[in-house]
Amino acid sequence: MSIENSKFRSRRLDAARGYLILGMPDCALRELRKIQSPEFCEFDFWLLTAESYRDLSQFDEAIPFFEKAIRLQPKNLQSHLGLAWCYKRIDRLIRAIESLERAKQHHPEEPIVIYNLACYFSLVGDKPKAIECLGRSLRMEPQLRGLISAETDFDHLRTDPDFQFIAETVEQESE
């Protein structure tokens, strides 16, 4: 790769990153498509492309890009979360859970991973795992409790006494 190609790619990646920050994923993809030979690109190309497709709600298109990013940097939390997000949106909840479980292997103390596992276990009807993960995530990061009321993933658990106990107990412990 020549210096000129390296600078060109860097400018395109920076532009794509900026467009994503501005909420313009279509423009980000336009910049990323200008890059010749993406197979020689670094991790950022794959992640930015995946995030662009995800932000356009083109979840099926985003998945292979997230997977490539994960192969390049297996411990990258953002890639695992993005992949799980996409799988959830296309109703492949078991794959979403698998992605989060892999993220948890690398980031066992990351509360958002555990919280999202609670959501996905709730959606597949695994109440014990959903309750366990929710309680653990709330103990790790009590501020996550503020997300529960708007979280539709928990709708069918809201009247469950165990769910209510976890939410109330964690709330009292964090006060």
Q: What is the CATH number of the domain that holds 78?
A: 1.25.40.10
Burial 88-120 (b: 16+ CB within 10 A, else e): beeebbebbbebbebbbeebeebbbbbbbbbbb
88 & 114 share domain: no
Report the domain count for the chain.
2
Q: Do 122 and 81 sit in the same domain of this protein?
A: no
Please report the pLDDT score of residue 40 as a whole number. Answer: 66
Domain boundary among 67, 92, 117: 92
Asked if residue 79 and residue 129 are part of one domain, the reply reads no
- The whole-number pLDDT of residue 4 equals 43
Q: Where in the sequence is the domain holding 149, given as residue range(s)?
A: 109-175
What is the pTM for the complete model shown? 0.87
- What is the rounded CA–CA span in Å between residue 113 and residue 123? 15
Predicted confidence pLDDT, tens digits, the chain (175 residues): 444 477 888 899 999 999 999 999 999 999 999 987 766 668 999 999 999 999 999 999 999 999 999 999 999 999 999 999 999 999 999 999 999 999 999 999 999 999 999 999 999 999 999 999 999 999 999 999 889 989 999 999 999 999 998 887 654 454 4
SS3 91: coil
